Each structure stands twice: as structure tokens, then as C-alpha cells.
Chains A and B, each alone.
Chain A
Amino acid sequence: MEKSNEVLLKVEHLCQYFKIGPNVYTKAVDDVSFDIKKGEVFGLVGESGCGKTTTGRSIIKLYNITSGSVYFKGIRIAAGTKSYKDAIAKAKSDLKAGLIDSEECSRIIAENKAEIKAAIHDQKNCDRDYSLRQMTEIDQKYAPLMAGLAGPELAKVKKQYKSEIRRARKTKLVTKIQMIFQDPIASLDPRMTVREIIAEGLVIQGERNKQKLDEKVYEMLELVGLVREHATRYPHEFSGGQRQRIGVARSIIMNPDLIIADEPVSALDVSVQAQVINLLNELRDKFGLTLLFIAHDLSVVKYFSDRIGVMYYGKMVELADSDELFRNPLHPYTKSLLSAIPLPDPEYEKARKRIVYNPVAAHDYSVDKPSFREIKPGHFIMCNDAEFERYKAEIK
């Protein structure tokens, strides 16, 4: 498969905390960084409650992130302020303790305040920036065209220009990221027909031509292996696999650059799972889609993804090419996760020994704090210095 080196999505130090009491936070996602290149499938695995879904939802801006930044197509679409606020607080306490002088302190505060301002601006205005950028592009494209024309010709081009500008004004960058949800029953509105469900995104974006919409919907239906007649039906008339296809159609009609697939197959029967996976695979070949594939079934993730990130309690503990990860798992949690995969092979299963991961016993982080390091080109792991040496020896 063709893979460019262009980074489509870049996640830097993403933190997502939820307040559960006065000054008590659940760190659902804690300092996670990764990037997704154009055209690749990035798998995110981990047990339930480890923050995979939260990561996906933070990227698509369903939550306001606590700290860190998310870049999509080079534009910062989400930014958190906590890290800067912490830096200011630290500078103030350092000043009190006498570690830094007041000049240094005020410099740090000013720097971070500027960062906070920028973050809030980006968080709010990324869509506007994007549409402005689009509009100037269109302006530049049409200005020379229109300069040399006159009369009815000019009017025709002008009309085209106007409609494009209108659409560009309404464009939102985030709509280039689409999501496929886990439960195909709960994620489709039971009172809307399939046509309405699939076309909804386009309608919101300002597409008013009914015929065009219908054409588009039919095209999508055929693409995902349904037929035109299905457009007038309601979701309850479909089987689980067909419903998930509707979910897929709804997301690709927006012509997205990135699809976040949040456990798209775990609620389906085995035979239907294969249908949906094959469908996603075909679409990926056809449109060069980039996917963030979130799942807990490791066999499926392995089959489908180019690179895999393993999460454990809000932290990314290992990230590598999928073949590399399964061949050389280094982090003890990854090892325990891999040892738990059931395979359709009775003799292997009878001999299979599950490795138990106990973070307290496995790591000693009391002195040396761990960080996310690259141990081999493309293979990252969360470890401290001592472990880094050990893993390095292991990999050879």
C-alpha cells in the first residue's frame, strides 16, 4: 500500500482529565504523543478503561482537552492549557523558595501566558482559520480567471465562485475527521431514514440540491455494499452488519481525510466482522483513507493496522510497526496482552500460559521516572534508563 511520509495527524502530550470531585481528577489520557501518516492505519489497543476511546474523542474535539495539542493537516485543532498553568504555578513557587529571581519568573509567566492565549485562540478558531485559508485559495484561483472575462461568461464563473466561497465559508476542518462508532444500533437515529442519516452531514455543510444529495447517497450505499432501495428504510430494518455499513457510509460521504473507527466490529458476529473489515479495507485502497482503528481484539488490529500503539491506564506504553510489535514485544504489559490472545488452535491453547502484568512488581519508578523513548527506528517504549538498557539488550 502506498504510504507517504506526510504527517496527517500529530498528537503531542495529549492529556484528558475528568473532574470527579473537588481537586480530584481521573487521568483518562495522560501525556500521550503519536502521529499518523497519510494513508496508514494506526491501531490503538488496550483493555477497557485505558483511555483508547477518550483519545479518539479528544482528537475529534468531542471533549475539550486538558493539556497538549492536536495538529491536523498542520493546523492546531485542539490545545489544552493545563501544562502552561502548571508552569506558571511552578515559577511562582520557585520564586518563593528562592530558586529563581523575579526577572526570570516574570519572563516565564509572560511566555506561558502568551502560550495560553494562543492555545485558547487555536482551540476556538481553528475552523475559521481553515475556512479563511480556503477562501483565500479560492480567491487566488478565481482572480486571474475573472480578470480576463466579461458579460455572460463572467456571470457564469462568478456564480461558480460564489457557491464555492459559500461552501468554503461553512467548511469546518474537524469535518475532515469522521467517526465510526462501536454500537451500530445506538449510533443511528431510529426516527430517520437511511437517506437522512447518510446525507445529514452534507446538509449541515450547506448542500441544498436534493438531486445531488440523492445521487451522493446512492453512490455511498453502493460503495458500502447496500442497494438504492435501502435509502428509504429505517435502521431497525437492517441486520447488525448492514447497520454498521450505514455508519461507514455516513462517515465517508463527508470525504474525510481521517476516520476514527472506535471498535467498529466488536459488537458484530464473526462472519459479519469479516464483511465489515473487508469493506473498510476496500475503501481504504480506493480512497487512500487514513484510519485510527481503536479495538481490543488484537487479532483484528494486527490484521488491519500498519502501526499499533498500546495503551495502559491513560499512558501509551509501546508503539511500533504491527509486525515489529508482535515479533518483539518489549514492554511487560504488551507481553501480557499478547499472551492473552485466544487462537483457533486447541493444542496451542492448552499450552498457552498467560503472563500476568503487575505494574508494581514490573517497574521500579521510585527514583528514575519513565519517559517515552525510541529504542529502534519506529519502535517507541515507555521506560526509564535502566529498563532502556535492558530492553536494548533484549532486542538484540
Chain B
Amino acid sequence: MANVEKKLQVRNLRISFRTSNGKVQAVRGIDFDLNKGETLAIVGESGSGKSVTSKAILGILAGNAIVESGEIIYDGRDLLKITEEDFHHIRGDKIAMIFQDPMSSLNPIVRIGKQLTEAMILKGKARQRESRTLFNTYLKNLKNTMIAAGVDPSAAAANCKKFDTFEFKHIELESAYNKAHEAVVEAIDTAEPLIFELEKNQPSRDAAYRIKDIAKRAKESVNPYVVLDYDRERVFQLAGSISRSFKNANGDYSIIIAELRELTDIMKIAKDRPAPNFFRMGYYLKFSGQPLPNLPVDKLDEYMKDYLDRDFMLAFIADAESAVRYAAVMSQQKMRDAIASLSDKRAAFEREALDKKEAYAAYKALSADVMATIDPLATTRDSLTYTFSSSIKSELDTYFGAIKKNERAIKVHDRDQRKHDKIVNAGKNPGWEVADAAVTDLDMIKGNIARIIDRLIAHYNDVIVSIDRRDFRAETIGAIDYLMHNASGVVAKVTRRVAKDRAIKLMDEVGIAEPHKRYKQYPFEFSGGMRQRIVIAIALAANPDILICDEPTTALDVTIQSQILELINELKEERHLSVIFITHDLGVVANMADNVAVMYAGKIVEYGTSEDIFYRAAHPYTWALLSSMPDLDTNEKLESIPGTPPNMIYPPKGDAFAPRNKYAMAIDFERQPPMFKISETHSAATWLLHPDAPKVEPPKILRDRIERMSKGRKTDNGEK
């Protein structure tokens, strides 16, 4: 699975909370990746830091939180370092969250419809603006690069201007067509079950709504390439009459059935009618100055293609390709320079004690060099290049901040140690232990910087080597597609009506019956499961990439829970969402997760695929979690975990789970175990996996269950 796209990377994340009693270390250095289209479950008791992690990803940490180190990389940006303004484009838009309690995450005095459409309308406007800027900047970059690549400046400017004008014409035509076509499809989808119901003489309660809907759609469907001129009159007639016929039906539905039939027949023909190429048509209409010739669609396409290629397109693509090639070559050269200066200046970060002036100067020079390598015509962001500057700066800030802090921490530690010694020397038991000095490891920071630089150099070398294999023609087409995509973003306007239509469709998608009626209701009129569906619909309204579910089903009962989980799974498949699923219920995890991370006291103690965790668990904490929940065949006493999680103001020196762990060894109280790799996908942080450790079996209750499960599977397979 080497070529899976990584949607989110979390590296060495450390978060603390400042409280009046001291610093609570909520998350202590966790790493994980989230791949596209996969579900990662984070499991742990309350207070293990799972919700804090998810809040950090969304940038909604409480005010007293301190992010001590780490990076959360999404789409070439480090979410821990971007500004609040930048976060507005990500939060809710790209990364959405479903909260635990559906009652407290909905506004009780605002109707459901308003809550669903609010964000759509706001985000719609923002997206329009954003698309406009992206389009303009990219086109300007293209023009400039063309000129730099040797294309005649006036021709380049004229061509780009031309592209701009007719591209928008194209999008207008196409979106009008799409709207009409969608209306046709919707009208058919609504009408067919309705006809069926009417034939059985049992129209459902919202039949009147649906008929109104069909009439509306029918009117919308009028477009020169969908419903043709000679049908238009009849469609309008039918749309006007169906509502009336239904009202006057009085139990005899034959008239309305006949009318609906006729309408659907027209719509079905319209649905399959071939559409012309609107990109070419946009150019033709804008620049030929002539009306469209009266030809069948395929002939018309040919005709327009010839016109477009001859007049503009071939030349434009050639120019653009030379620009893309030029930009890539320039970027490659800059990369070579950057590698040289990176190798040259890294010495500044490797001294015994860094010199503040020198280090910051080197950082400034390097980030300028690295930023220069950015290819203005690349359509995907190179995350390593983009995050380089902010990563180095935050490491340097921590380093120089820590020098002073470390002195203070050591002083505090020495004072406590003296106090402790005094009490011990007096022959008394102090009843407390001296916590380790909260010293930041300066060498580790230097190591981080070196790692960032090495990673970038290796990445650049890869890019430089692969330049011969790049297909610049394909990249040019990709660039033009990128422009088109942004242009469509500018044209797509989210009006209140569009938002309402979309919201009702969403409500239908998440399984809410009679969405038209429900749209106008208040949250308290919904049951728990329905409320949670609304929350999911709101989260999906902006079409996010990543969905974070923070215990979405804990407040619900089994049947509803099962429905909601199925819904999330379905939506995940449909929309290729990546899901982070936070829960303490392992039964739910087995259903949902591709990968599971078990968290305890702010650390990931075990990480693996769900099969790894459930069949081959290796960490005693995972064992304890699994054996503390009964399944349907459990009869023996449950293994509860004694004690409570540690107080994270005084994080334990060794393995945090050791005091509650009956398999704990002496070393568990002394040193923190590293992550031992068990297989390619599976790793766990416990000293039991050390080659010198004694062999320990998981608890009996768990072994029995695993055996039972594998037996059950075998007999199942045998029957098949």
C-alpha cells in the first residue's frame, strides 16, 4: 500500500494544559497517518487524550492548551502553525467533526433547516472568493511563465485573456445544462415511486410535496440541450396541471397518473439525450461572432472542435506546455541550489550550542532558498517545501526558549530534591517523590532540525531524478483542468434556494423520512438517533475530506447505534472520506476501523490493523480493555482494570500503565518502553516484547474468546 494518498500526518504531537495545580500533559508525543478512504479508530479511557488530539486537528483546543511540539500536516500545511484566518478555510470545510452529544451540538432555538443551510451559504460565498483568487493568480503565473519561456508577450497576454473570457462562458453554459439535467433525473426519481403508490391507491402523506417538487423540477429542466423546443410547451402545461389534478383527485388518481406518465416519458428521453461539448461551444459563441450551425450534436461537436483547435487551442496548449516545462526546469535548478545551500548551512544547526544570530540568519536564508523552489504552475502543493520554513522556525523558537526554561526547571528540581533529602535524612517518609526536571531535550531539537533538512534534501533529489519521466503534456492538461475547476467554483453560487434543495437531499441521504416537513422543525422534535443524523448531515454539508467522529454513538442505544455506524460507513464509501473515529467501545471499533490506535495517558501504546488489535493484541492495556467487556458467551468473572489512570500533572517515569498492570516488570517502573515493531502494520509499546522479557500469555478470558472467534469463523467457512 505504498501509493495510498496520506490525507493527514500527525508527528510527535505534544499538548499540555496549564492549570492552577500545574501542567497537565494530555498528549505526549504521538504519531499516526490517516490514509485516504480509511478509518482510524482511537481507543482509550476518558482522559487518555483522544479527544484532545482530535480537537488539535480541528484547531479548537481550549485556551489554556499549550502545543509543545509536533506537526499535523494536511494538504501541505501544518495545522498547528497556520493562522486562524487560514483555519476558516479548513475547519468544517475540509475537516468536519461529529460531536458526542447531539443535543448540545445543535442550537435549540433555530430550526433544523436554518442550521443545515447556514454554513453552506457562508462557505459558498467564501469558496467563490477563494476560487476567483486562485484562478486569477494561476492564470497570471501562467502568463508570466509563458513570457519567461520565450512566448511573445503580447500573444501570451492576449491568449490568457481570451481563455479567461470564454472559460467563464463555458462554465455558464455547462452549469445551466447540469442544472437542467439534474432536474430531469430528480423528477424521474421522484415521479416513479409516486406513480407506483398512486396506482396502488395509497399515496404517502407527503405526496403533495413531491408533486410540487416534480412540477418545479419539470420547469427547471427546460434547456436547449435537455428538453427540446417542441416539448417545452407540453412540459410547462403538465407542470402547471399536476398539482391541480392531485388536489381534485378525490380518490380517483387516473388523470394524475396519466399526466405523470407522460411527463416521465418526456423526461426519460431528455435524460439520455447526448450533450455537446460546452468548452468548445463557449469559445465558439464568444469569438466566432456567428450563431451555432444547425447540426446534430456529434456533427456540431466536430465542427466546433475544428474551429477551436484551428483558432486557439493548439497554440495555447503548446505555449502552456512550454511554460510548464520551463517552470519545472527552473524549479529543478532552484532545487539544486537549495540542496547546495541546505548542505552548506546545516552546520549552523549542528554546533554544540547553537548561536542565536547565526541560526536565525541561516534559517532566513534557507527558507528563502526553499520557497524559491516552488513551481508556480504545480497544481498540488509540495507539503515538505511549504512546511519547511514554519517547522524550522518553531524548532528554533523552542530551542532558544528552552535554554532559559531549562535553567529554571533544574533549579526547581534541585530545590525539591533537597527538600526530599532533608525529610529522608530526618528518618521520615515524605510520601511524595521528586518529579523529573521538566527539561526540554536540546539535542532532540537539533536532531529534529537535521531530520527536516535531510528529509527535504532526499525529497528534492527524488524530484530532480524523476524530471525526465514526467509527462508535460499531461501536466498541461491537468493545469487547464485546474483552471476550469476553479472557474466552476466561481460560477457555482449557493443561494438560499440551492442550499435548501441540497439540505433536503442531504437529509434524505442520511435517512430522515419526510425531509420537507422535518426541514422546518426544531431539534427537540427529533429523537436521539434522528438528531445525530442531523449533526452528521451538517458535518457533511460542506463536503469535507476528513470526518472526525468523537464518540458519535455513545449516547445512543444499540439499534440506533448500529444504524448510525452503517450510515457513516456508507457515506465513507460513497464520498471517499477519511474518518477518525474516537470511542471507548471496542465492539464499535471492530465494526468501523481499518486501523486502530490504543491510547493511554497521552501515548499511543498499540497501533495496528483491527485484526492485529483484536486477534493478536500485544499490550497489557489492550488485553485489559478487551477482557473487561463481556461478550455474549462470557460467563467467568470480568477482568476489571484496578485503579485509575495516572494524574498527568506528574506523569510516571516509566510505563504509565505499570501501576495498574499485573504483568508489570521492574523495568516498567523505570523506563518508558519504545514502540516495538511486531509486524509491518502492528506495533506496541511494552517491555514484554523485548527479546529478554519473559514470555507472558494474555489473560485466559481473552484467549478463550479469541479461540472461540477463530473456531466460529472456521465453522462458518466450512458451511459455505
Docked complex: B154-206 residues within 8 A CB-CB of A: none
Chain A residue with Cβ nearest B628: A274
Given contacts A274-B641, A281-B637, contact A343 B528 (CB under 8 A): no
* Minimum C-beta distance from A262 to chain B (A): 14
Q: Are B625 and A271 in contact (CB under 8 A)?
A: yes
Main secondary structure of the interface of B (DSSP, over half): helix
Chain B residue with Cβ nearest A345: B709
Q: Considering the chains assembled together, what is the distance between the CA atoms of A299 and B587 in angstroms?
A: 10
Most buried by A among B46, B556, B587: B587
A277: B residues at CB distance < 8 A? 630, 638
Q: Are A326 and B632 in contact (CB under 8 A)?
A: yes
Residue in contact with B584 in the complex, picked from A269, A298, A340, A351, CB distance below 8 Å: A269
Chain A residue with Cβ nearest B644: A239
Q: Considering the chains assembled together, what is the distance between the CA atoms of A48 and B531 in angstroms?
A: 14
A297: B residues at CB distance < 8 A? 558
B568: A residues at CB distance < 8 A? none
Q: Does A324 contact B (CB under 8 A)?
A: no
Residue in contact with B629 in the complex, picked from A241, A273, A354, CB distance below 8 Å: A273
Docked complex: B65-123 residues within 8 A CB-CB of A: none
Docked complex: A229-284 residues within 8 A CB-CB of B: 239-241, 269-275, 277-278, 281
Docked complex: A79-123 residues within 8 A CB-CB of B: none
Q: Are B628 and A271 in contact (CB under 8 A)?
A: yes
B578: A residues at CB distance < 8 A? none
Q: Are B713 and A347 in contact (CB under 8 A)?
A: yes
Q: Are A344 and B713 in contact (CB under 8 A)?
A: no
B644: A residues at CB distance < 8 A? 239, 241
Residue in contact with A298 in the complex, picked from B558, B565, B641, B716, CB distance below 8 Å: B558
Q: Are B614 and A354 in contact (CB under 8 A)?
A: no
Q: Considering the chains assembled together, what is the distance between the CA atoms of A357 and B610 in angstroms?
A: 29
Q: Does A389 contact B (CB under 8 A)?
A: no
Per-residue A-contact encoding for B39-82, CB less than 8 Å = 1, 0 else: 00000011000000000000000000000000000000000000
Q: Are A274 and B632 in contact (CB under 8 A)?
A: no
Docked complex: A189-242 residues within 8 A CB-CB of B: 239-241
Residue in contact with A344 in the complex, picked from B557, B566, B590, CB distance below 8 Å: B590
Q: Are A346 and B561 in contact (CB under 8 A)?
A: no
* Minimum C-beta distance from B270 to chain A (A): 36
Q: Considering the chains assembled together, what is the distance between the CA atoms of A174 and B561 in angstroms?
A: 36
Q: Considering the chains assembled together, what is the distance between the CA atoms of A50 and B614 in angstroms?
A: 33
A350: B residues at CB distance < 8 A? 591
Chain B residue with Cβ nearest A340: B562
Most buried by A among B615, B625, B638, B705: B638
Q: Does B588 contact A (CB under 8 A)?
A: yes
B275: A residues at CB distance < 8 A? none
Per-residue B-contact encoding for A332-343, CB less than 8 Å = 1, 0 else: 000011001111
Per-residue B-contact encoding for A347-362, CB less than 8 Å = 1, 0 else: 1111110100100000
Given contacts A270-B45, A271-B624, contact A342 B640 (CB under 8 A): no
B637: A residues at CB distance < 8 A? 278, 281
Q: Are B45 and A342 in contact (CB under 8 A)?
A: no
Q: Are B629 and A337 in contact (CB under 8 A)?
A: no
B610: A residues at CB distance < 8 A? 346
Q: Are A344 and B630 in contact (CB under 8 A)?
A: no
Q: Does B478 contact A (CB under 8 A)?
A: no
* Minimum C-beta distance from A283 to chain B (A): 14
* Minimum C-beta distance from A229 to chain B (A): 15
Q: Does B611 contact A (CB under 8 A)?
A: yes
Q: Are A352 and B558 in contact (CB under 8 A)?
A: no
Q: Does A378 contact B (CB under 8 A)?
A: no
Residue in contact with B45 in the complex, picked from A271, A296, A357, CB distance below 8 Å: A271
Q: Are A343 and B638 in contact (CB under 8 A)?
A: no
Q: Are B625 and A341 in contact (CB under 8 A)?
A: no
B45: A residues at CB distance < 8 A? 269-272
Given contacts A273-B629, A342-B588, A343-B632, contact A336 B559 (CB under 8 A): yes
B705: A residues at CB distance < 8 A? 344
B713: A residues at CB distance < 8 A? 347-348
B528: A residues at CB distance < 8 A? 48
Given contacts A302-B632, A303-B634, contact A337 B611 (CB under 8 A): no
Q: Does B514 contact A (CB under 8 A)?
A: no
Q: Are B632 and A299 in contact (CB under 8 A)?
A: yes
Q: Are B640 and A300 in contact (CB under 8 A)?
A: no
Q: Are B584 and A300 in contact (CB under 8 A)?
A: no
Q: Considering the chains assembled together, what is the distance between the CA atoms of A281 and B640 in angstroms?
A: 13
Q: Does B452 contact A (CB under 8 A)?
A: no
* Minimum C-beta distance from A55 to chain B (A): 16
Q: Does A47 contact B (CB under 8 A)?
A: yes
Q: Does A49 contact B (CB under 8 A)?
A: yes
Given contacts A274-B641, A302-B632, A337-B559, contact A343 B624 (CB under 8 A): no
Per-residue A-contact encoding for B685-720, CB less than 8 Å = 1, 0 else: 000000000000000000001000100110010000
* Minimum C-beta distance from A230 to chain B (A): 14
Chain B residue with Cβ nearest A241: B644
Q: Are B566 and A354 in contact (CB under 8 A)?
A: yes
Q: Are A344 and B559 in contact (CB under 8 A)?
A: no
B556: A residues at CB distance < 8 A? 48
Most buried by A among B585, B610, B626, B640: B640
Q: Are B585 and A342 in contact (CB under 8 A)?
A: yes
Residue in contact with A269 in the complex, picked from B46, B590, B712, CB distance below 8 Å: B46
Residue in contact with B626 in the complex, picked from A49, A344, A348, CB distance below 8 Å: A344
Given contacts A274-B641, A299-B631, contact A346 B590 (CB under 8 A): yes
B716: A residues at CB distance < 8 A? 351
Q: Considering the chains assembled together, what is the distance between the CA atoms of A271 and B639 in angstroms?
A: 9
Per-residue A-contact encoding for B548-569, CB less than 8 Å = 1, 0 else: 0000000011111111011000
Docked complex: B564-608 residues within 8 A CB-CB of A: 565-566, 584-591, 593
Q: Are B630 and A342 in contact (CB under 8 A)?
A: no
Q: Considering the chains assembled together, what is the distance between the CA atoms of A348 and B708 in angstroms?
A: 12
Q: Are A349 and B591 in contact (CB under 8 A)?
A: yes
Q: Considering the chains assembled together, what is the distance between the CA atoms of A278 and B584 in angstroms?
A: 19
Docked complex: B633-662 residues within 8 A CB-CB of A: 634-635, 637-641, 644
Q: Are B586 and A270 in contact (CB under 8 A)?
A: yes
* Minimum C-beta distance from B78 to chain A (A): 33
B527: A residues at CB distance < 8 A? 48-49
Chain A residue with Cβ nearest B46: A269
B625: A residues at CB distance < 8 A? 270-271
* Minimum C-beta distance from A104 to chain B (A): 43
Q: Are A346 and B584 in contact (CB under 8 A)?
A: no
Q: Considering the chains assembled together, what is the distance between the CA atoms of A269 and B638 in angstroms?
A: 14
Q: Considering the chains assembled together, what is the distance between the CA atoms of A104 and B494 in angstroms?
A: 73
* Minimum C-beta distance from A41 to chain B (A): 14
Chain B residue with Cβ nearest A344: B586
Q: Considering the chains assembled together, what is the distance between the CA atoms of A49 and B716 in angstroms?
A: 36
Most buried by A among B527, B559, B560: B559
Starting from the known contacts A49-B527, A344-B631, A348-B590, 19 additional A-B residue pairs (CB-CB under 8 Å) come to: A48-B560, A269-B45, A270-B45, A270-B629, A271-B45, A273-B629, A275-B641, A281-B637, A299-B587, A299-B631, A303-B635, A341-B587, A342-B565, A342-B588, A342-B590, A344-B587, A344-B589, A347-B611, A354-B562
Q: Which 7 A-B pairs have the closest CB atoms?
A: A342-B587, A303-B630, A274-B640, A274-B628, A340-B562, A296-B557, A271-B641
List the interface of chain A (C-beta within 8 A of B).
47-49, 239-241, 269-275, 277-278, 281, 296-300, 302-304, 326, 336-337, 340-352, 354, 357
Contact sample, A vs B, 12 pairs, CB 8 Å cutoff: A270-B585, A270-B629, A274-B628, A281-B637, A297-B558, A298-B632, A340-B559, A342-B562, A342-B587, A344-B590, A349-B587, A349-B591
